[in-house]
Structure 1
Amino acid sequence: RKIDNETVYSYLEKLQKAYILHKCSRYDLQGKDILKTQEKFYLADVSLRYSVLGYTVDSIAASLENIVYLELKRRGYDVYIGKIKDKEIDFVATKQNEKIYVQVTQEIKSEKTQKREYEQLLEIRDNYPKYVVMADNFAGGNYEGIKTMNIVDFLLSKEY
């Protein structure tokens, strides 16, 4: 069955009004403007995903990203998906004069993954804090000024 884009957006809007979904717009870091397309939607309750789709190993990374989004919103940040050239930064969070950049990953097991997660943040030439958050229990440290943290430490942190 084919479905019209307007119908999809209508459903998404109703889910937002029912507080089931949160819309996260895309922010162009070069043009410093909010883009009108390619937004993402995050669940207001991560357990909804499991109740509908069940558990899969692939869903862990998406759930971590959803949890970080909700935590940033809870702390009062305006949250966007960052776009720099053809790359994506999971979150650009702003609150008054504060700004932080956050990449979320389940784990870093290869150099390819490490490059993907850190490279985008290294391209940003400002001095705002940058984080890579992951589920790895041994996550920690600093990679060229980017703080690497375990998801639990990030959620409990008072530094942002």
Structure 2
Amino acid sequence: MTKRLKYTVGAAAACGLILVLALVVYLGITDASSTDDIYLIPEGYEGSIQVNYNVAGAPGLAKEGKYDVIPIRADGTFDTSKPDMEYGLVTDQYYYVSPDGRRTPIDKSCVHVGGNGASEIGSTVTRHNYLKITKTKCGGDFSAWGK
């Protein structure tokens, strides 16, 4: 194989690899999933929140457009029969809800997304989503670390 032919084959292979990688990145960006939850939190609540998924006998989740609505109880928990939470880009919305149903948006700097977990009893896997909400410690440290 001549030097020129080797160079041409190598350049074509490199261009093909770049195109394949660009396509993978493009598909990953345009087909990204998102969480799409609306958390309705009792007015004035501060502390930990735990949402439990795949709980037998618990209610499903209502929808508002593409969002699942999660009405948090006064103790900071909610159980749903939905088998699992959504994963991906966190696009959630957080609201305090007054006793008469009025919603007040919660600033994202007052929310710490704590992560997910799971527990298993027999063959039933219950998934958990953890958050923290504050009214008094809002800011970058709380949002990032929950402190």
Which TM-score bucket, shorter chain as reference?
under 0.3
Q: Could you say which structure has the larger radius of gyration?
A: 2
With CA pairs under 8 Å and 6+ residues apart, which has the higher RCO, 1 or 2? 2
TM-score (norm 1): 0.22
Higher fraction of strand: 2
